[in-house]
Structure 1
């Protein structure tokens, strides 16, 4: 079968040699820039304290405006608030505002006055972003399979550049939302496709390293953005400075090959052999196999429709699917609920963002070194710990003094650490719970729960605006913590998948825990089981029709 033959090819070609290291470096760049454009929303949509602009007063500033005698005569009859101007005892809605520039010189909030009656426009912009990722989750696998990995990645890079470059000159908020939708689509492609390409360029023992590389590139991108955002407080300048360097990725694509696995699946064996020979040359090895040894036999493939019919007739598999979908929803709800609303936690937004990114980095490092522990136990512990930390913020938000807001921030960051760990593991667990014939499709359906969760997070994060009390401030984290706890409890019903072979048939998937390999495997063999889901997102593997009939 292609899976075994393909994996053995890269073992003969050096496994993880100089060629693979070079490709890892190149393909990490799009993911790094994906982080800078995605997390830029934290600063572009940062909340700025505001008040009504006083009419007939020059030099309006947010705090302590200079008042001259003539101005004093003009404003003596005014009483201002955030949303209403009291003129001689009559409240009138504001038409213009003055913004605090302590942390931001300007944002999308101040440019389009997304405050007061339009305060939820911020959530609408976030929704357009997450809808873009939802759209991409549906079509990414199709594009990768039909069009190829490399062209799809190039499309993603263009979508990272063009919408961001033109956005500062767009005069209408609706068009800004469209740009954000396109940018989110490109952002997701710039993460998923490099993930796929890296895992298809190495032997199984190094696929976990591919996963780790992409995650770390994303974390580094978050730190790069922090430096940019700290020194550039104007959103229009920031978006230009962040977007222009992404053009480097187009040059990088000249040195990135198409995925050999995809070429083999499409019958383009000659092109795949060219890549294998180039890999062997870089790694100082030899190609000791013939093209006919890696030919894909179409007759052994299972019908996509047949696979789904079997899936929906199996109660255990459907139960597994719903539990995973709920967990994807909960993880994304918590992750983006914290990440996109760090400015609402109180204190310095840049310090909060730095701590949040550090928590995410630590979580990725922990996951990389925790492969020798039972996967399900780590996952359940991580999501329940993170959710409990979020729930605990209700006590500090409602009953502690304002001077203790740092405790709330600390608990939220523990939540971020836990949910990032869970995010890393849910990819692996999902890929290992379904047979190969429907693995990519079921992953797409499960991860659609994450897209719904991220869309909900854009509104849940702003519930404190509607409920202007201490309870309202704590409510977003209470909700995400409760959902996460429920998901963590349900995840106890999932099978343990560490040190198991990827199931190729429904029968193997149903009895996956009985296929656990010897725990005494060395680390390199152990890592083979930890195959990234992105590697499977565009993979089509064989399954005999005889086994299908036995299960159905």
Structure 2
């Protein structure tokens, strides 16, 4: 199949111009509250030391059971752990409170995936960005643990939409040849948020104030209603050709590109790859299991996502429990991720997609195995290998986003991403309980084993490096069924339904 031809959208607006850079800046800025919520658990729910003031205990440290704990406030003044006394037999509530964000992300990914595919990328992005700031700020008003957990769930719900829909929108606004770069650029928000958070937390040591400072200022995203466009790829896919021409013309003008042939380009894309039956232009979750290839991918990719989130979330929380200054440990682990987007871009450009993901999983699994044999008194070495494992997990997580978005066609791309993200949150939900098992080597061995299993699953997925984003299920089935066979472009094109011809050169 001709997967490596010219991308019509790229021909119309360029692979990545000034306008796409402007949209990327706006989305990166607006994503920060969600990125803060993703990383702030080490400050909201830390492992807090306390002195037990119960009669007959003689002021023992971290003694259980304890009815009157006096928490150490030298590092963190107030936290969810101290305010609601999540110690001893209440420790499981701390793990559950951490996991509620992941539960919300899973549910949000499903709902926002549906909204994005059915009603458009723009409405989903705007709603998710605003709700990220709203529910993060509202959590500061919690006077009961259940109120915090509900706000945590709703924050995760919005975060699921942000992580999914913002990524897909930027991928669809970019040309095929720029996708590897976009993969790294899309993670600037997370890395910046991860670096900025411990600095803010160092000066704002009460959890309620921390939530307000990191969320309330971002209510300004309501102005994005007039700034963010709809995805032209989505508009073409659902048959809104005129709207797509308007959006593409506006972007082309901003990028100083010719606009005379845009309508012809849209006509050709629509004629060659979009089903003529309007009912086939919108996908659903059921479509993920109707055909053989898509069904296999819909089974394997969620398992890979579950592994990614279990590994990365677990390591991220584990670093916050290591010996030493919590602010410095988190800042160092965040700083170590700074070159990761660049390395991810290099891997996307020069390595096959599967090899890149598998390599990242292998790095994580190996680093964690070494972690097990390091003497406990070598704190710096322990931190270093934990960070290496974190970098590998981060790389696998990010590359899996790109990998998945390229495997599935436009008509069900967000639904597929939403389903995968939802399954991924199962891993995120389990991670705090694995970290809190209490036997360190068991926790680390679980994370390492999962990384190795995920690498094995990736071998069964198709290679997607440098392909044009496919639009229909029929295209995907035929493309991956003919992969590796000696077939020419004419033969494969004849195999396609008449309403689903492949993109050809637009010259």
Q: If the length of structure 1 is used for normalisation, what is the TM-score?
A: 0.78
Q: Note the C-alpha offset of 1:415.
A: 0.8
Partner of 1:378: 356
Partner of 2:497: 544
5 Å-filtered alignment, 1:447-486, equals 447-464=421-438, 472-486=439-453
Q: Note the C-alpha offset of 1:174.
A: 1.0
Partner of 1:88: none
Distance in 2 between the 1:266 and 1:173 partners? 44
* Counterpart contact for 1:191–1:214, Cα < 8 Å: no
Is 1:368 aligned to 2:338, yes or no?
Answer: no
Distance in 1 between the 2:173 and 2:243 partners? 14
Is 1:409 aligned to 2:383, yes or no?
Answer: yes
Partner of 2:218: 246
5 Å-filtered alignment, 1:172-251, equals 172-251=144-223
Q: Note the C-alpha offset of 1:323.
A: 3.9
* Counterpart contact for 2:101–2:155, Cα < 8 Å: yes
Greater C-alpha Rg: 1
* Counterpart contact for 1:149–1:193, Cα < 8 Å: yes
What SS is found at the alignment partner of 1:98? strand
Distance in 2 between the 1:443 and 1:450 partners? 10
Report the number of matched residues: 479
What SS is found at the alignment partner of 2:70? strand
Q: Which moved more, 1:218-227 or 1:103-112?
A: 218-227
What SS is found at the alignment partner of 2:320? helix
5 Å-filtered alignment, 1:417-428, equals 417-428=391-402
Q: Note the C-alpha offset of 1:288.
A: 0.9
Distance in 2 between the 1:374 and 1:292 partners? 34
Is 1:126 aligned to 2:98, yes or no?
Answer: yes
What SS is found at the alignment partner of 2:395? helix
Q: Note the C-alpha offset of 1:336.
A: 0.2
Partner of 2:46: 46
Distance in 2 between the 1:169 and 1:439 partners? 37
Distance in 1 between the 2:306 and 2:401 partners? 13
Alpha carbons of 1:509 and 1:109: their partners in 2 closer, same or farther (altered >3 Å)? Answer: same
Q: Note the C-alpha offset of 1:349.
A: 1.4
What are the Cα deviations for residues 466-522 of structure 1, in whole angstroms up to 9, with x where unaligned? xxxxxx1232112111121222234334443324455623132234355999xxxxx
Q: Note the C-alpha offset of 1:280.
A: 3.0
Q: If the length of structure 2 is used for normalisation, what is the TM-score?
A: 0.85
Alpha carbons of 1:19 and 1:487: their partners in 2 closer, same or farther (altered >3 Å)? Answer: closer
* Counterpart contact for 1:499–1:516, Cα < 8 Å: no
* Counterpart contact for 2:245–2:266, Cα < 8 Å: no
Gaps of 5+ in 1: 56-76, 86-92, 465-471, 518-542, 548-552
What are the Cα deviations for residues 432-471 of structure 1, in whole angstroms up to 9, with x where unaligned? 445665554444444433111111102111111xxxxxxx
What SS is found at the alignment partner of 2:205? coil
What are the Cα deviations for residues 64-85 of structure 1, in whole angstroms up to 9, with x where unaligned? xxxxxxxxxxxxx652335658
Distance in 1 between the 2:407 and 2:255 partners? 34
Q: Note the C-alpha offset of 1:292.
A: 7.0
Distance in 2 between the 1:265 and 1:505 partners? 15
Q: Note the C-alpha offset of 1:39.
A: 1.1
Alpha carbons of 1:122 and 1:258: their partners in 2 closer, same or farther (altered >3 Å)? Answer: same
What are the Cα deviations for residues 327-386 of structure 1, in whole angstroms up to 9, with x where unaligned? 222221110001123222222212221222233333322111122123322322220121
Distance in 2 between the 1:334 and 1:328 partners? 10
* Counterpart contact for 2:121–2:231, Cα < 8 Å: yes
Partner of 1:469: none
The structure showing larger relative contact order (alpha-carbon pairs under 8 Å, at least 6 residues apart) is 2
Alpha carbons of 1:290 and 1:236: their partners in 2 closer, same or farther (altered >3 Å)? Answer: closer
Distance in 1 between the 2:296 and 2:224 partners? 44
* Counterpart contact for 2:354–2:459, Cα < 8 Å: yes
* Counterpart contact for 2:133–2:216, Cα < 8 Å: yes
Is 1:81 aligned to 2:60, yes or no?
Answer: yes
Q: Which moved more, 1:229-238 or 1:249-258?
A: 249-258
Alpha carbons of 1:106 and 1:304: their partners in 2 closer, same or farther (altered >3 Å)? Answer: closer
Alpha carbons of 1:152 and 1:368: their partners in 2 closer, same or farther (altered >3 Å)? Answer: same
Partner of 1:512: 483
Partner of 2:319: 342
Q: Note the C-alpha offset of 1:214.
A: 1.4
Alpha carbons of 1:320 and 1:270: their partners in 2 closer, same or farther (altered >3 Å)? Answer: closer
* Counterpart contact for 1:229–1:238, Cα < 8 Å: yes
Alpha carbons of 1:408 and 1:212: their partners in 2 closer, same or farther (altered >3 Å)? Answer: same
5 Å-filtered alignment, 1:23-38, equals 23-38=23-38
* Counterpart contact for 1:334–1:419, Cα < 8 Å: yes
Measured on the aligned residues, the alpha-carbon RMSD in Å equals: 3.1
Alpha carbons of 1:190 and 1:53: their partners in 2 closer, same or farther (altered >3 Å)? Answer: same
* Counterpart contact for 2:252–2:259, Cα < 8 Å: yes
What SS is found at the alignment partner of 2:36? helix
What SS is found at the alignment partner of 1:361? coil
* Counterpart contact for 1:394–1:475, Cα < 8 Å: no
What SS is found at the alignment partner of 1:51? strand
What are the Cα deviations for residues 19-70 of structure 1, in whole angstroms up to 9, with x where unaligned? 2222221122122332122212221111211121357xxxxxxxxxxxxxxx
What are the Cα deviations for residues 73-106 of structure 1, in whole angstroms up to 9, with x where unaligned? xxxx652335658xxxxxxx42221111232111
Alpha carbons of 1:23 and 1:446: their partners in 2 closer, same or farther (altered >3 Å)? Answer: closer
5 Å-filtered alignment, 1:350-365, equals 350-365=327-342
Alpha carbons of 1:20 and 1:320: their partners in 2 closer, same or farther (altered >3 Å)? Answer: closer
